[in-house]
Amino acid sequence: MLRDRHDRPVDGGDWFIQHGTDVETRWNADVPHLTPTDHFFVRNHTEPPHVDPETWRLVVSGDGVVGETSYSLDDLKSFTSHTYERALECTGNGRSLFGSQQGTERPGTQWQMGAIGVARWTGVPLRTVLRHAGLTGDAVQVMPVGLDARYVDDGIDHGHVRRPLPIGKALDDTLVAWEMNGEPLPLDHGFPVRLVVPGWVGIASIKWLGELQVTTSVVDSPWNTRWYRMHGEGWSGDAAVLDRMPPKSIVDVTGDPEVGRMAVLRGRAWSGEATIRMVEVSTDGGRTWEEASLTGSNEPSSWVEWEHPWTPVASGEQVLVTRATDSLGRTQPEVAADNDDGYFFGAAVRHRVTVRAEVSTPAGASGRPAPVG
Ligand X SMILES: Nc1nc2c(c(=O)[nH]1)N[C@H]1C(S)=C(S)[C@@H](COP(=O)(O)O)O[C@H]1N2
Partner from ligand X, Mo ion, none contacting 205, C-beta within 5 to 8 A by type: ligand X
Does the protein bind Mo ion through residue 189 (CB under 5 A)? no
Q: How far is the CB of 165 from Mo ion (least distance, A)?
A: 15
In this structure, the strands spanning 290-291 and 69-71 are unpaired
Distance CA 310, CA 261 (A): 8
Q: How far is the CB of 297 from ligand X (least distance, A)?
A: 21
Partner from ligand X, Mo ion, none contacting 163, C-beta within 5 to 8 A by type: none
- Between 128 and 224, whose beta carbon lies closer to ligand X? 224
- Between 158 and 207, whose beta carbon lies closer to ligand X? 207
Distance CA 197, CA 205 (A): 5
Q: How far is the CB of 90 from Mo ion (least distance, A)?
A: 3
Nearest to residue 114, comparing CAs of 248, 275, 235, 206? Answer: 248
Comparing every residue's Cβ against Mo ion, the nearest one is 90
User: What does 114-125 look like in DSSP terms, one character per residue?
Assistant: -SEEEEEEEEEE
Count the residues of the shown chain that bind Mo ion, applying the rule CB under 5 A: 4
Distance CA 104, CA 358 (A): 38
> Over the range 193-215, which residues count as b (16 or more CB within 10 Å of their CB) and which as e?
bbbbbbbbbbbbbbbbbbbbbbb
Distance CA 37, CA 15 (A): 11
Partner from ligand X, Mo ion, none contacting 62, C-beta within 5 to 8 A by type: none
Residue 18 CB burial class (10 angstroms; 0-12, 13-18, ≥19): exposed
Partner from Mo ion, ligand X, none contacting 42, C-beta within 5 to 8 A by type: ligand X
- Between 169 and 323, whose beta carbon lies closer to Mo ion? 169
Q: How far is the CB of 347 from Mo ion (least distance, A)?
A: 19
- Between 89 and 307, whose beta carbon lies closer to ligand X? 89
Q: How far is the CB of 111 from ligand X (least distance, A)?
A: 10
- Between 188 and 305, whose beta carbon lies closer to Mo ion? 188
For Mo ion, which stretch binds (CB under 5 A), given 11-19, 83-91, 141-149, 310-318?
A: 83-91
Partner from Mo ion, ligand X, none contacting 189, C-beta within 5 to 8 A by type: ligand X
Nearest to residue 248, comparing CAs of 278, 220, 222, 270? Answer: 270
8 A C-beta contact, residue 262 and residue 235: no
Cα angle 213, 301, 255; round to 5 = 140
Q: How far is the CB of 90 from ligand X (least distance, A)?
A: 3
Residues that bind ligand X (CB under 6 A): 40-45, 88, 90, 146, 148, 161, 188-189, 202-203, 205-208
Partner from ligand X, Mo ion, none contacting 161, C-beta within 5 to 8 A by type: ligand X
Q: Other CB atoms closer than 10 Å to residue 179's CB: what's the count?
A: 17
Does the protein bind Mo ion through residue 43 (CB under 5 A)? yes
Distance CA 136, CA 130 (A): 9
Distance CA 191, CA 284 (A): 46
Residue type, 135: L
Distance CA 23, CA 205 (A): 17
Q: How far is the CB of 289 from Mo ion (least distance, A)?
A: 31
Q: What's the Cα-to-Cα distance from 186 to each of 55, 116, 312, rounded to whole Å?
A: 18, 17, 44
- Between 5 and 189, whose beta carbon lies closer to ligand X? 189
- Between 97 and 292, whose beta carbon lies closer to ligand X? 97
Q: How far is the CB of 255 from ligand X (least distance, A)?
A: 30
Does the protein bind Mo ion through residue 48 (CB under 5 A)? no
Query: Is residue 16 left, alpha or beta, with left meaning phi > 0 and alpha meaning psi from -120 to 50?
Result: beta
- Between 56 and 310, whose beta carbon lies closer to ligand X? 56
Does the protein bind Mo ion through residue 202 (CB under 5 A)? yes
For Mo ion, which stretch binds (CB under 5 A), given 25-33, 42-50, 140-148, 234-242?
A: 42-50
- Between 142 and 203, whose beta carbon lies closer to Mo ion? 203
Partner from ligand X, Mo ion, none contacting 98, C-beta within 5 to 8 A by type: none
**First vs last Cα of the chain: how many Å apart?**
53
Footprint on this chain of Mo ion (rule: CB under 5 A): 43, 90, 202-203
